[in-house]
Structure 1
Amino acid sequence: MTFIFPQAAVVGGSVVAFAAGLPESHREDIYLSTMFAQRATRAAYNDGLSGNWFDYYCNQLRFIGWDVPRPEGLSPIQGGSMGAAAAQHIAIRLGEGFSEPTNRALVALERNASALDLFESTSLSQDAGFFQMIPCVQKDAHRVEMGIYHRQFQFRRETSRFFFIDQDDLVQNSTEQLSVITFNTLYYAQFREKVKKSVLSQTFKYLSSLEI
């Protein structure tokens, strides 16, 4: 069965969104790499092998050829939802080229109940949560510029919904980080088949398209 890799999608605990014009081959590489890193990180975290979710996640991306610089810590934005805070950080740090696909993906996510359920349920682990927003813009024929916004947090009370509700009374011990990456598809070619074999069978379970 063939899967068409869309302009935006939930990939487990990440929302990935592409600016117009990126070829499907680039989108496939980024979707499957994201899935690979998430799966390995979640397994290590659940087994107690890693306490810093994002560090381990970035190391998994480096393992498959991504050049991931040290992330920048972000100051919290008070009030509103986590989704709105993520979008605001991306707009401030990365500009309109990245914020426009992010905003379109968030609108689509809020109206897609099954995709939102996949995203929120995959992001949660007991009383803690971890998620990424990943807007992508083409730099040239073989390079894609990407922002990876990561948030790690704990809840004050039990909940299964968090992304589009007011965060002030819900979240504690929150950490927000942002890393900007240039993804080189030519360099990644040596890792492509390894990643595909590892995660392609799980694509239909952990990837949900968003209509933007």
Structure 2
Amino acid sequence: MIDTTAQAAVVGGSLIAFAGDLPESHREDIYLSTLYAQRATRAAVADGLEGDWFEYYRNTLKFIGWDVPRPEGLLLTSTDSMGHQVIQQISRRLGEAFSSPISRAMAALEQNQAALDLFESSSLTQQTGVFQMIPCIANGPNKIDLGLYHRQFRLYRSAPQFLFAQEQVRESREQMALLTFNTLYYAQFREKVKKAVLEQSLTSIRGLSI
């Protein structure tokens, strides 16, 4: 079983953080469905079936009941580390309620080598990378608002702890969407998703205390 008690987790190439006290079942739904989408997208891109990583990822989430609006393209406004840039972008567009939990999760990630190794190995292939940051806030008993931040980039050189290193990005594309996850609607897809990623979830999800 995966650990759903922590308020944040690395899920493959995504960092997910929850503001406040959400039921563990809601956290599991978000962890497993995002892992499902990552797995399907990476397979499609590796097989040459899709060139737009984020478009395929969004469509996969839609296929399992997520309502993902068309994302907003972001302009780079800072030369800080990628981690600081993420927090600034989320804060600027979604506010402190979203940026605060992802900031705490990122601080915990920097201190957790096992989680950092998982995130980096899932996000980075040589100098090419892709990741998501997903802060989540409860919006009633069965709805969760999520800020879905996505970044694709190329580095000048391979670098450990690329989130926290001084800016080394050669090319970058940032996108963000605000969406609402309805757990009642997702219920019809839950068992399908669990079955698809059950074995992978044991090695691809690491909880973080924030």
> TM-score under structure 2 normalisation?
0.96
CA distance in structure 1 between the aligned counterparts of 2:37 and 2:93, rounded to whole angstroms: 24
Describe the superposition over 1:117-149 as per-residue Cα deviations: whole angstroms up to 9, x where unpaired: 110111012331000000000000110000000
Structure 1 counterpart of 2:141: 141
Give the letter aligned to residue 3 of structure 2.
I
Q: 1:161 Cα shift?
A: 3.6
2:194 pairs with 1:196:
yes
Secondary structure of residue in 2 paired with 1:140: coil
8 Å CA contact 2:129–2:154 kept in 1: the answer is yes
8 Å CA contact 2:16–2:134 kept in 1: the answer is yes
Structure 1 counterpart of 2:73: 73
1:94-113 to structure 2, matched below 5 A, reads: 94-113=94-113
- Aligned sequence identity (%): 59
Q: 1:160 Cα shift?
A: 4.2
CA distance in structure 1 between the aligned counterparts of 2:134 and 2:186, rounded to whole angstroms: 18
2:3 pairs with 1:4:
yes
Where structure 1 has 5 or more consecutive residues not aligned to the other structure, the ranges are none
CA distance in structure 1 between the aligned counterparts of 2:103 and 2:158, rounded to whole angstroms: 28
Structure 1 counterpart of 2:85: 85
Describe the superposition over 1:131-180 as per-residue Cα deviations: whole angstroms up to 9, x where unpaired: 0000000000110000000000112223344111011xx21220000011
Secondary structure of residue in 2 paired with 1:38: helix
8 Å CA contact 1:87–1:99 kept in 2: the answer is yes
Describe the superposition over 1:32-66 as per-residue Cα deviations: whole angstroms up to 9, x where unpaired: 00000000001111122111111110010001000
Secondary structure of residue in 1 paired with 2:93: helix
Structure 1 counterpart of 2:181: 183
CA distance in structure 1 between the aligned counterparts of 2:42 and 2:126, rounded to whole angstroms: 13
Where structure 2 has 5 or more consecutive residues not aligned to the other structure, the ranges are none
8 Å CA contact 1:133–1:148 kept in 2: the answer is yes
Cα distance, 1:77–1:120 mapped onto 2, change above 3 Å: farther
Structure 2 counterpart of 1:124: 124
1:25-44 to structure 2, matched below 5 A, reads: 25-44=25-44
**Pairwise CA RMSD of aligned residues?**
1.1
8 Å CA contact 2:116–2:161 kept in 1: the answer is no
1:150-169 to structure 2, matched below 5 A, reads: 150-167=150-167
CA distance in structure 2 between the aligned counterparts of 1:173 and 1:3, rounded to whole angstroms: 35
Describe the superposition over 1:82-102 as per-residue Cα deviations: whole angstroms up to 9, x where unpaired: 111001111111111111111
Structure 2 counterpart of 1:23: 23
CA distance in structure 1 between the aligned counterparts of 2:47 and 2:120, rounded to whole angstroms: 21
> TM-score under structure 1 normalisation?
0.95
8 Å CA contact 1:121–1:160 kept in 2: the answer is no
Describe the superposition over 1:186-207 as per-residue Cα deviations: whole angstroms up to 9, x where unpaired: 1000000000000011112100
